[in-house]
Amino acid sequence: MPDNAPTKTVTTKRGYSRTVTATSISYQCQWCYQSVTAWHFPGPKPAYCEDCRNGDIHRSVAAASIARKRDQERTDNPPRPVGRPRKA
Ligand SMILES: [Zn+2]
């Protein structure tokens, strides 16, 4: 593994954290069809190059709107405990 690979520390919902290391991947952008080599953290491969992702304003606006709506719904309806309540 190269020494200059970027790393990041992720914290899970359960409260523990670990460090993940990016790997160098090559992929073809599904929008402009250019071949891209980039650092990539574990997960699904990106479909678009960074330029196309940053240039897609509409997508990011829609995503922000959906995220905002989801957060709002969560605030309005907090998750309920699952299962039968225990007897005191
Ligand atoms: Zn592209």
Q: Which domain holds residue 22?
A: 7-76
pLDDT at 37: 93
Predicted TM-score of the model (pTM): 0.49
- Nearest CA to 73 out of 83, 82, 65, 62 is that of 65
Tens-binned pLDDT, residue by residue, of the chain (88 aa): 556 899 999 998 888 999 999 999 999 999 899 999 999 999 998 998 988 887 755 566 667 777 888 888 888 887 777 888 888 7
pLDDT at 40: 93
Residue 64: phi, psi to the nearest 5? -65, -40
Please give the tally of structural domains in the chain. Answer: 1
Q: Quick one: 49 exposed, middle or buried, by C-beta within 10 A (0-12, 13-18, 19+)?
A: buried
2 inside domain: no
88 inside domain: no
83 inside domain: no
68 inside domain: yes
Report how far ligand 1's centroid is from the alpha carbon of 68 (Å).
27
CA distance 82 to 85: 8
Report how far ligand 1's centroid is from the alpha carbon of 8 (Å).
25
Report how far ligand 1's centroid is from the alpha carbon of 80 (Å).
42
1 inside domain: no
